[in-house]
Amino acid sequence: MPQSTAIHWFRQDLRLADNPALRAASQRGAVLPAYILDDSNAGTQAMGAASRWWLYNSLRSLNESLGGKLLLYAGEPQDILLRLAKRHRASAITWNRCYEPWRTKRDAQIKRHLKQSGLVVETCNGSLLWEPWQVAKADGTAYKVFTPFYRKGCLNAELPRKPLSKPRAPSWLEDERAQPLEALNLLPSALWHESLASHWQAGEAAAHRRLKSFLKTGLRHYKGGRDFPAKLYTSRLSPYLHFGELSPHQVWHSVCAATAATAATDQHTDTFLSQLGWREFSYSLLYYNPDLPHKNLQEKFDKFPWREDEAALLAWQKGQTGVPLIDAGMRELWQTGFMHNRLRMLVGSFLVKNLLLDWRCGERWFWDTLVDADLANNAAGWQWVAGSGADAAPYFRIFNPVTQGQRFDPQGAYIRHYVPELASLPLPYLYAPWQAPAKVLEQADIVLGTTYPHPITDLKTSRQTALEAYKSLA
């Protein structure tokens, strides 16, 4: 009896282990492992530069894991999949579901056409612990507040399934019309490429090394330590989760197993797992609110008097605001493609509240520069900071970057690393150099306005202006 052939369409599941759709394909017989770059259907939500760099390296790693058999294409997935199935007489196509609105719309159409062409289509959940429709309130409606979503919805639902092993020795098939990786034109400028490469390794093996390191050194300090950007207590797993080099099921069960094995304090595990819950919540918000990346969830913010100030936006993007902690966060982003979560809240608050610039300006910048740029998490995070989202921080909660620096960077290590022109400034003035006496600045070889900028806004005055703008919505 001739062997059956199936196509597995890799998307945001660039791994072999715990890949339910890949396993389903391998159980049917020989497998055509394909990745298709689709920029046209993505429109304005096509990947940013940092994500494209990560994707390039992740695909290269996946290809090595497949013994050089990964099939790469660029174009319209429906046409490519149909032609590939016809050339190789494939009988089935499998993929793991994605939840971005443009993908769900496209995938429904593709699935319909493939079935009409006589192909079996099997889709699986390889990206979420609980799919959006699995977590609902008693009346069947979606949760709008995180704590009940996670505590009552997720934790009372079926526990996350155990991770699956790699498929057993599948037969990977080749296709002569596949393209080389370089033809996908994924890499940004050489300078940025080198900077990102010095901080990250993409791929499934690197993801597991990062997880192992976090379990060994970060988890037992997580609850309190995660707020200090100079300390290495956060997991830094987000890009691996986004690209699917690591599944949330693998992370969930690895953390639970590590806790049981080491008798770690439950509060650290609970706090970390709740962060996975926030990821699930963001996907639920996006699923039920497909306009989340560009439309205020709270409609009253449609009337908010945002300013237009290209010079201020550019200073924020470049880390030249004159506010050291803000500049450190923005420079970390540019240099590494990543930003500590507390800094994401702080730089977001500064943009939308101290500068009164639209949160969508920040969302787009993060989309282009974060290696973990994720539509659901990025949009939900920015709306949370702006106060316009579901279960958002109140708009009147305006972070003070000076006091935040004193509290969470008490030795100034984070600021000194990313804003080295201030490295010689004594600690009391490091967080607000504009308050330093002239003699202190001179001794530190700092000339405000020359070697380091004056603040582009007064923190106290801009805070009051923001509160008045918020009152105008009432």
pLDDT tens string 166-184 = 998 889 999 999 999 999 9
Residue 190 pLDDT: 63
Residue 262 pLDDT: 60
Distance CA 378, CA 172 (A): 36
Name the residue among 390, 366, 380, 388 with its Cα closest to residue 293.
380
Per-residue burial over 415-452, b = 16 or more CB atoms within 10 Å of its CB, e = otherwise: bbbbbebbeebeeebbbbbeebeeebbeebebeeeeeb
What contacts 24+ positions apart, CB below 8 Å, involve 155-161?
A: 157/130, 158/130, 158/134, 160/129, 160/130, 160/248, 160/249, 160/252, 160/253, 161/249
Average pLDDT over residues 396-414: 96
Name the residue among 208, 21, 38, 278 with its Cα closest to residue 125.
21
Backbone angles phi, psi at 463, to 5 degrees: -65, -45
Structure-derived torsion over alpha carbons of residues 374, 379, 381, 384, reported in degrees to the nearest 10? -170
Distance CA 414, CA 347 (A): 14
Residue 454 pLDDT: 98
Residue type for 332, please? Answer: E
In which band, very low, low, confident or very high, does the pLDDT at 90 lie, cut at 50, 70 and 90? very high
CA geometry: angle 212, 213, 214, nearest 5 deg? 90
CB proximity list for 163: less than 8 A, separation 6 or greater: 17, 18, 247, 249, 250, 253
pLDDT tens string 11-48 = 999 999 999 999 999 999 999 999 999 999 999 999 99
Residue 326 pLDDT: 98
Neighbour count for residue 336 (Cβ, 10 Å) = 19
In which band, very low, low, confident or very high, does the pLDDT at 263 lie, cut at 50, 70 and 90? low
Residue type for 68, please? Answer: G
Pick the more confident residue, 393 or 368.
Answer: 368
Residue 86 pLDDT: 97
In which band, very low, low, confident or very high, does the pLDDT at 1 lie, cut at 50, 70 and 90? very low
- Coil, strand or helix: which one is 37? strand
pLDDT tens string 118-154 = 999 999 999 999 999 999 998 989 999 999 999 999 9
pLDDT tens string 376-388 = 999 999 999 999 9
Residue 395 pLDDT: 76
Residue 369 pLDDT: 96
User: Domains, the chain, ranges and CATH?
Assistant: 5-126 (3.40.50.620), 128-161+205-288 (1.25.40.80), 299-471 (1.10.579.10)
Residue 126 pLDDT: 97
Asked if pLDDT for residue 371 goes beyond 80, the answer is: yes
Query: Is there a contact between 138 and 126 (Cβ–Cβ < 8 Å)?
Result: no
Residue type for 2, please? Answer: P
Mean pLDDT of the chain: 95
Average pLDDT over residues 220-248: 96
Beta bridge partners of residue 278, listed in sequence order? none
Residue 374 pLDDT: 97
Q: What's the sign of the alpha-carbon dihedral 313, 314, 317, 322?
A: negative
Average pLDDT over residues 319-341: 97
Task: Detail the DSSP E strand segments found in 75-205.
Answer: 92-96, 120-124
Distance CA 368, CA 349 (A): 19
Residue 24 pLDDT: 97
pLDDT tens string 269-282 = 999 999 999 999 99
Residue 261 pLDDT: 67
Beta bridge partners of residue 10, listed in sequence order? 35
Average pLDDT over residues 96-111: 97
Average pLDDT over residues 230-247: 97
